[in-house]
Structure 1
Amino acid sequence: MQAFRIVFSVVYVLICIGLIATVLLQSGKSAGLSGTISGGAEVFFGKKKGIDDKLAKFTEILAVAFLGLSILMMVVLK
């Protein structure tokens, strides 16, 4: 049981660090007046897919992994 606790803890810390890093690497969604203008332009010209979309998807994956591992650790490692 101690080995599971160590493995879960190491994976949990790595997921936490990855989640923090991906959130901090994302650009802000609103950038004042320029964000308003570019948001209106996205409606007409379409949204460009780039690194922000990939980071957002990776953030979602890490958040689900974080939640799942948190629940798993709570249930298994009481």
Structure 2
Amino acid sequence: MDILRIVLTIIFVINCIVLTIIVLMQEGKSAGLGAIGGGSTDTFWSKNKGRSMEGALEKSTKFSAILFLVLAAVLNINF
């Protein structure tokens, strides 16, 4: 059981580093004062967001965050 705990801890640390890097790579979502005037944000990139680099980063962030929560819960169990 100690070996399993060590392996899960190593995976947890690697996931933490990857999650930090992915979050730092993302662009800010704030539109600033331009959003108050109702400026249109429908561009080619906003319509095809899932296929862009930003869409891939969002999916990776969600996956890494779920893995983070699951590993944190598993490592908290005293086995």
TM-score, length of structure 2 as denominator length: 0.77
1:61 counterpart residue number: 63
* RMSD of equivalent CA atoms: 2.3
Identity %: 38
Gapped regions of structure 1 (runs ≥ 5): none
Query: For residues 25-77 of structure 1, what are the alpha-carbon distances to aligned partners after superposition, in whole Å with 9 as ceiling and x for unaligned?
Result: 0000014245x38x6232x76523211111001000000000011111112x4
More helix by share: 1
Opposite residue 54 of structure 2, the aligned amino acid is: D
Give the 3-state SS of the residue equivalent to 2:8 in structure 1: helix
Structure 2 CA distance, aligned partners of 1:32 and 1:6? 45
Specify the code of the residue in structure 2 equivalent to 1:28: G
User: Hey, what does 1:70 align to over in structure 2?
Assistant: 72
